[in-house]
């Protein structure tokens, strides 16, 4: 079963789908949401880590969404992606 944080990551990004985001932000956030959704079915930790890294990189392209709620969801998703990657990195060092 995937880490609950992966579900939360996906849910934050999916929650932006109905919000009126700026066009540029929509592109990056929608792609990040699709990759995060794919992570839910992946059991290989290295593949999950790569995909979460891709989500992080996509979200780094978003300067703002043009919507306060969208900005909150993107920031929460960024924080979760960073946390997941930090934990994955510390697991490798164990």
Report the alpha-carbon distance of residue 63 to residue 85 in Å, rounded. Answer: 21
Question: Can you give the pLDDT at residue 88?
Answer: 83
For residues 61-84, average pLDDT: 97
Q: pLDDT tens for residues 11-39?
A: 999 999 999 999 999 999 999 999 999 99
3-state secondary structure of 93: coil
- Could you tell me the pTM of the whole model? 0.92
**Helix/strand/coil for 46:** helix
Q: Is the pLDDT of residue 47 over 60?
A: yes
Examine the pLDDT at 48 and tell me if it is beyond 70: yes
> What number of H helices and E strands is found in the chain?
4, 0
User: Where exactly are the structural domains of the chain?
Assistant: 4-92
């Amino acid at each position: 079963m995937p880490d609950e944080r992966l579900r939360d990551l996906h849910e934050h990004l999916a929650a932006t789908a109905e919000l009126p985001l700026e066009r540029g932000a929509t592109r990056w956030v929608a792609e990040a949401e699709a990759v995060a959704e794919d992570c839910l079915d992946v059991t290989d930790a290295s593949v999950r880590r790569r995909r979460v890294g891709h989500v992080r990189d996509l979200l780094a392209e978003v300067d703002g969404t043009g919507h306060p709620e969208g900005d909150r969801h993107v920031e929460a998703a960024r924080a979760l992606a960073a946390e997941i990657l930090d934990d994955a990195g510390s697991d490798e060092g164990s």
